Amino acid sequence: MTDRRNAFSADPMNTMLNLVEGYTEEMTALRRSFHAKPETGWTEFRTTAILVEHLKALGLEVRQGLDVINPDFVMGRYEEEVEAGKKRALREGVSQEALDAMQGYTGALAVLDTGRPGPVTALRFDIDALYVPETDDPEHLPNRLGFASEHPGLMHACGHDCHAGVGAALAHWAVDHKDELCGVIKFIFQPAEEGTRGALAMAERGIVDDVDNLIASHIACTPRLGHVTVTDPGYNATIKFDVHFEGRPAHSVANPQDGRNALMAACHTAVMVGSLPRHGAGLTTVSCGRIVGGEMRNVIPVKAVMQMEVRGATNELCEYVFSQVERAVKSCAEAFDVKFRIVKVGQAYNMNPSPDLARIIEDSAAETVGSDNVDHYSEKGGSEDATILMARVQNLGGRAAHFYYGADHKGNHRSDFDPDDVRSMPVGFTVHTRILQRLNGRNNPSI
């Protein structure tokens, strides 16, 4: 029997593009539709509606709304933005019936049950955009081909439109190859990854509690086109939160003694947390990115809000530094005699991929792009809320891992980000199909 890994090594990119030709148009068309009408976290109503329609048309069991979201664990969701997102989706062709089915919450889960014994494998894809205005450079591919963002100030600048397109096409592939597969395959389309806001609510709904293997992935970032990077332990645990101070108004000259200054409490908190000692066991950071407070120049400020985050090299270190910030906030609130509340708006864990599942990704990637184009990488600077779903699976006895598939681009989160979708998306697609063949193939179940 021919060694498929060696057979593809002569020109793996061209071979791979030929193999997925039937799905490339599908995933690219979906990606460009999502790119033209980007939606930020918890407002992805059009994106969700398109995905749900596509997945149902494939004959898959599809869950959405409160069937995939636990509202008690939703973070960073703002009703004004949500309502504006619903209205925009209606204007852009989403039916009221489709919106009602979402029950106000975006994201979806599709399930393919082969009817044969085998593992439960979940593939996770995030779907939200960023508050980034797209460049007007005429040479920028979306401008040249007419699918640039139509929503001012919003853009898919991190490739989540590509992730959604790849995931939808993979669901199609799995249906087409159902007779060759065993077990159950879940396709998770997660809202609100930016700001690490969406995974916890899905995890707490229990949608991965029966999962044996969970795979998460990301386009672009470090690897270039034709390369795949298997993720090693890394990523920072993080907690994003807002601190709300509430004082008491008074005239700044006539009766300042009657006021309670919320803005000064916030400012002193910012100074105090900036002086907190770090932990000797690993990286810990505190960031105060924004303070908004006060009403007018001659009134003791009644309200102030701080937008903050902490990160740690481990979940324990992250919780340590967060507890230090909590103490600082409480101390400053007491000093200025104001009320306070801390609201978590995002969270992610550090990543510890399961080594044996990571090796399956590595083998699948080598078969796709050639072993010389497969690397390992440990992300030390960023955070990713797929880690919450991964940890949930691992804590219940399953395995989880993550990988990147490369693209030629100018940098994520930039106004000129474009990942050369026609060539890069098929790489991620093919790696996923080969992972599924290894995990859920009828002749190769890995349980």
Distance CA 193, CA 200 (A): 10
- Residue 25: Cβ within 10 Å count: 12
Look at residue 219 in the predicted model and tell me its pLDDT.
Answer: 97
Provide CATH code, domain 4-235+351-440: 3.40.630.10
Residue carrying structure tokens 């049950």: 113
Contacts of 258 (CB under 8 A, 6+ apart): 248, 250
Tokens of 245: 């101070």
Distance CA 327, CA 380 (A): 27
Given a contact cutoff of 8 angstroms between Cβ atoms, the answer to whether 92 and 149 are in contact is no
Look at residue 380 in the predicted model and tell me its pLDDT.
Answer: 82
Question: Per-residue DSSP letters for 252-313?
Answer: TTTSGGG-B-HHHHHHHHHHHHHT----TTS-EEEEEEEEEE-S-TTB---EEEEEEEEEES
Task: Single out the residue of 356, 390, 370 nearest to residue 431, CA to CA.
Answer: 370
Distance CA 21, CA 5 (A): 20
Contacts of 8 (CB under 8 A, 6+ apart): 15, 16, 367, 368, 370
DSSP state of 20: T
Distance CA 217, CA 57 (A): 25
Q: Strand 120-126's sheet: what is its strand order?
A: 61-64, 108-113, 184-190, 120-126, 213-219, 399-405, 228-231, 374-377
Given a contact cutoff of 8 angstroms between Cβ atoms, the answer to whether 284 and 317 are in contact is yes
pLDDT tens series, the chain, 447 aa = 333 333 334 466 666 666 677 899 999 999 999 999 999 999 999 999 999 999 999 999 999 999 999 999 999 999 999 999 999 999 999 999 999 999 999 999 999 999 999 999 999 999 999 999 999 999 999 999 999 999 999 999 999 999 999 999 999 999 999 999 999 999 999 999 999 999 999 999 999 999 999 999 999 998 999 999 999 998 999 999 999 999 999 999 999 999 999 999 999 999 999 999 889 999 999 999 999 999 999 999 999 999 999 999 999 999 999 999 999 999 999 999 999 999 999 999 999 999 999 999 999 999 999 999 999 999 888 899 999 999 999 999 999 999 999 999 988 999 999 999 999 999 999 999 999 999 999 976 453
Q: Do domains 4-235+351-440 and 237-348 have the same CATH topology?
A: no
- Residue 86: Cβ within 10 Å count: 18
Max distance between CA atoms of the chain, in angstroms, equals 91
Look at residue 22 in the predicted model and tell me its pLDDT.
Answer: 82
| HEC readout, 97-131 | HHHHHHCCCCCEEEEEECCCCCCEEEEEEECCCEC
pTM of the model: 0.93
CATH number (3.40.30.10, 3.30.70.360, 1.10.3720.10, 3.30.365.10) of 237-348 reads 3.30.70.360
Q: Strand 303-312's sheet: what is its strand order?
A: 284-293, 303-312, 237-246, 339-348
Look at residue 4 in the predicted model and tell me its pLDDT.
Answer: 32
Each domain of the chain, given as residue ranges in start order, spans 4-235+351-440, 237-348
